[in-house]
Amino acid sequence: MSSVSETTTERIPAAERREQILAAASRVFGERGYAGATTDQIARAAGISQPYVVRMFGTKENLFLEVLDRAQIKLAVAFRAVIAEFPPVDGVPPEGVGARLGAAYVDLIEDRGILLSLMQGFISGHDPVIGPRARVGFLATYRILRDEAGFSPEYVRGFLADGMLMNTLLALQLPDAIDDDPATREILACAFQSKLDLVIDVTAAQKEDA
């Protein structure tokens, strides 16, 4: 990268620069997985040099942990915003709040890579460093839905299962192949419901950007 580009990067405030790298890393990790992604690919996606990424985050492992934390924080913020608007009454969640939480989850697809980087964290549960962090985040989400939203453990189980199905469909890139097989459209419509058009539009735009 040219010295002009590097100087321009240096002028960006530290917090903004960090978010720029984390957003790029979220996309790369989400698409390529932890093992398949490299700091060089992330640097190119962020428009900066690879040594700069290493200086800021140290190792690829540290960078992935921060990507995972970022995703889990954004998920918690999205859920708590819905719960604040529709809090439980006498410990009982109001009607329709589950659907609103589900819609908030799908809306995170607009922040490219978040849902898939979460999934990459979950499937790295065997890793001695990533696994514990992923488990803490997953259980934090469970507790938000159980304790703050007021859902029963059984309801939370179904809610999280639906979320994992959405992640799987995105990982398979089925929205890009929605017209290839009637069964594809059927399962996508069942999973994303009223948000299906958003998912198709966002994934199509992200594919063009890539």
DSSP collapsed to 3 states, 181-206: CHHHHHHHHHHHHHHHHHHHHHHHHH
Give the least confident one: 11-15, 70-74, 104-108, 178-182.
Answer: 11-15
Higher pLDDT, residue 6 or 203: 203
- Give strand pairing partners of 92: 89
Spell out the residues 6+ positions from residue 169 whose beta carbon is closer than 8 angstroms to its own. 175, 187, 188, 191, 192
Q: What is the pLDDT of residue 7?
A: 42
Residue 8 has pLDDT above 50, yes or no: no
Q: Distance between CA 71 and CA 60 in Å, rounded?
A: 16
Domain positions in the chain are 3-171
Q: What is the pLDDT of residues 29-66, one digit of tens each?
A: 999 999 999 999 999 999 999 999 999 999 999 999 99
The length of the chain is 210
Contact residues for 133 (Cβ-Cβ < 8 A; gap 6+): 65, 68, 69, 121
Q: Is the pLDDT of residue 70 over 70?
A: yes
Greatest pairwise CA separation for the chain in angstroms = 61
Q: Top-level CATH class of 3-171? A: mainly alpha
